[in-house]
Structure 1
Amino acid sequence: MTKAARGRRREPILRSRRIIVKVGGSVLTAPNEEGVNRRVLGQIVSQVVELREARRDVVLVSSGAIAAGVKRLGMKRIPSAIPERQAAAAVGQPILMEAYGRAFNRKGVEIGQVLLTHADLDVRSRFLNACNTFETLLAKGVIPIVNENDTVSIEEIQFGDNDILAAQVAQMVRAELVIILSDVDGLYDADPGVTPGASLLRRVEGLPAKVVEVAGGSLNPLAHGGMATKMNAVKVLNRVGISTLIVKGRSAGVLVRALNGEECGTLFVPNGARLKGKKGWIGTTAKPKGWIRLDGGAVRALIDRGKSLLPIGVTEASGDFRFGDMVEIRDPLGNTIGKGLVNYNAAQVVRIAGKQTREIEAILGSKDYDEIIHRNNLALLT
């Protein structure tokens, strides 16, 4: 491949000015009493500072707090029970931030800790407030270091993995690229542990089903996640038009080399329509409180003609959603085709399902809206 062709292949990386760097727990964890490999952490910090000096904004999303706490508390592996995970996070987060603080301080760079749960992003006003906080930190030359607030999070408000958190933060700061520092070189076309001739995929357009199939789970007892969760993050990022690069985090100078155009890891480039602004938040961030099933005619009206969702096209609804909540929109077979913010609560939707708009007032006693979901509050995922 010619140099020009390689440049075109990596062009989404080269043009990126605002970047999320997600540091995996398996990259930072080490068999010492603290559970944080300060040498590796220092190398990552040096590269981040070098990127800043090249006029790139960088936000770090760092795992490692729970692993650090696990080591300090003498546990053998990350526990599955939430109270034990929370205890490990409470002990490990100060260890992790102290290590980052020392490393960045030696470079003369200020850091800011940002701890999030999904509840912080699930309400649009809180999401926007967090966006403003990030913008202010970056404007003041501060490197935000983000982690899930594992100490207080419960299952209902967990991101599930910091790969997903990185994807959400990328939307908040309008990043152009997410770099995931992992314990593998990238994504292969087969499991290299089973297939000796497996090849590293250098560039993937969209997220083909065949690519998802080859993603496996993590074998590191101090890591939480794996390639499968990274594919979930890529799926989110594809929908909002942000590229993803997965590289081996301990490879010397990998961040700087990749952003200087060297072919490193696997680059995922989004294709298809991009969800922007509020629709991106609806489609990929807000958690559904229920679902609404449509008939075929309503599906075609939404997808082909960009219409709002009217009661006449609804066949069924489930959940305990209220006005303004987000729900999944399903086709007759139960496949999710989109998400949207409802104008009526669940009980009202059930009562007006299949009815004409002009009948709403007679059924409910009032009619505040013609639509169950207005097209401006609808994000299609097909």
Structure 2
Amino acid sequence: MKRIVIKVGSAVLTEKNRIAKERMLNLVTLIANLRQKYKVILVTSGAVAAGYSALKLDKRKLIGKRALAAAGQPILMTSYKKKFDIYEIDTAQILLTEDDFDSRKRTKMFQEIIDAHLNNDIIPIVNENDISSTPEQLFGDNDQLSANVTVATRAELLMILSDIDGYYDKNPHEHDDAKIFKTINEIPPEALLDDSTPNDPFATGGIVTKLKAADFLLKKGKSMLLCNGFDLTSAESFLLHDNHQLGTLFEPLNKNKKAD
């Protein structure tokens, strides 16, 4: 059975500093349906935003972000558990940092843990451990984390669920004539340098972090789909029916050729 990684951002998971329960349930329902075809690893944001419902701290300050994440992790995981319990699906929480991918011993350890979860029909829910880590140990955004998890766990595809339909030739919020790219095989270097800011105040990414994740995966011979997380129709159509309706598919020209 194929492995895939699904990454969901704060903009999709939260609304007005609270968990967007309906959107989370829609995501969990999608994952439940996908299990007939895939082994799914979930990379989730939302802990800092969830923590803000309990603590009103400045996330721009390191201690504030850590305190929010510490308060928000159990809120986030409890919300997931309640939704997955509807489908009688067990979950496990895994917190990682960039350092976990730099050490063969540590990488092998979490690989084996995730393998054990998947082999026992448990959904691994991965997030970045920004509570006790130094800034140098962190990816800083879950787009990069999810791309590295995809490679490390030998998954075939990363799907990023965002607040946009895909990657456009220009900013769709500023240009009515912006056109979406359906398939991309290579990312121009200058696109990785563009300025971008996320739409959600609790998000840490933007389009450039997603392009960097896609670029990393393309060079590893793997694919990524960027699509809308508010309406999961295109995600379900692509994964369950092999029908690419909407969203940008980043796909290497030669999927069997992997970079060192």
Deviation readout 1:204-227 (Å, 9 max, x if unpaired) = 112124654667321321211111
Q: Distance in 1 between matches of 2:183 and 2:194?
A: 15
* Map 1:223-372 → 2, pairs under 5 A: 223-259=203-239, 260=241, 261-271=243-253, 273-275=257-259, 279=260
State the one-letter code of the partner of 1:176. E
Number of residue equivalences: 256
Report the alpha carbon displacement of residue 113 of structure 1 after superposing the two structures with TM.
Answer: 0.5
1:46 counterpart SS class = helix
The answer to whether the 8 A contact 2:66-2:130 is kept is yes
Does 1:169 pair with 2:149? yes
Greater Cα shift, 113-122 or 90-99 = 113-122
1:221 counterpart SS class = coil
The answer to whether the 8 A contact 2:128-2:145 is kept is yes
Deviation readout 1:153-173 (Å, 9 max, x if unpaired) = 211100111000001110121
State the one-letter code of the partner of 1:187. Y
Q: Distance in 2 between matches of 1:28 and 1:151?
A: 20
Which of 101, 104, 112 is the equivalent residue of 2:92? 112
Q: TM-score, normalized by length of structure 1?
A: 0.64
The 1:187–1:46 alpha-carbon spacing in structure 2 relative to 1, beyond 3 Å, is same
State the one-letter code of the partner of 1:146. V
Q: Distance in 1 between matches of 2:195 and 2:136?
A: 26
The 1:255–1:119 alpha-carbon spacing in structure 2 relative to 1, beyond 3 Å, is same
Q: Distance in 2 between matches of 1:270 and 1:262?
A: 16
Q: Distance in 2 between matches of 1:82 and 1:153?
A: 11
The answer to whether the 8 A contact 1:202-1:267 is kept is yes
Which of 15, 19, 30 is the equivalent residue of 1:47? 30
Aligned twin of 2:38: 56
Report the alpha carbon displacement of residue 271 of structure 1 after superposing the two structures with TM.
Answer: 3.9
Q: Distance in 2 between matches of 1:150 and 1:239?
A: 27
Q: TM-score, normalized by length of structure 2?
A: 0.93
State the one-letter code of the partner of 1:231. L
Greater Cα shift, 231-240 or 83-92 = 231-240
1:189 counterpart SS class = coil
Percent identity for Structure 1 against Structure 2: 36
Aligned twin of 1:72: 54
Q: Distance in 1 between matches of 2:117 and 2:195?
A: 35
Which of 114, 130, 135 is the equivalent residue of 2:110? 130
1:171 counterpart SS class = helix
Which of 140, 156, 159 is the equivalent residue of 2:120? 140
Q: Distance in 1 between matches of 2:249 and 2:195?
A: 15
State the one-letter code of the partner of 1:73. L
Q: Distance in 2 between matches of 1:117 and 1:193?
A: 33
2:15 counterpart SS class = coil
Which of 88, 92, 99 is the equivalent residue of 2:79? 99
The answer to whether the 8 A contact 1:29-1:222 is kept is no
Aligned twin of 1:29: 14
Deviation readout 1:96-147 (Å, 9 max, x if unpaired) = 0000001001101110110111222211111111111111110001000000
The answer to whether the 8 A contact 2:234-2:245 is kept is no
Which of 181, 199, 215 is the equivalent residue of 1:201? 181
The answer to whether the 8 A contact 1:67-1:222 is kept is yes
1:97 counterpart SS class = helix
Q: Distance in 2 between matches of 1:154 and 1:209?
A: 29
The answer to whether the 8 A contact 1:112-1:145 is kept is yes
Q: Distance in 2 between matches of 1:215 and 1:256?
A: 31
Greater Cα shift, 134-143 or 200-209 = 200-209
Report the alpha carbon displacement of residue 252 of structure 1 after superposing the two structures with TM.
Answer: 3.9
- Whose RCO is larger (CA < 8 A, sep 6+)? 2
Aligned twin of 1:376: none
Runs of 5+ unmatched residues, structure 2: none
Deviation readout 1:54-80 (Å, 9 max, x if unpaired) = x211100000001111232124xx622
CA RMSD between the two structures: 1.7
Which of 148, 154, 168 is the equivalent residue of 2:134? 154
The answer to whether the 8 A contact 1:24-1:64 is kept is yes
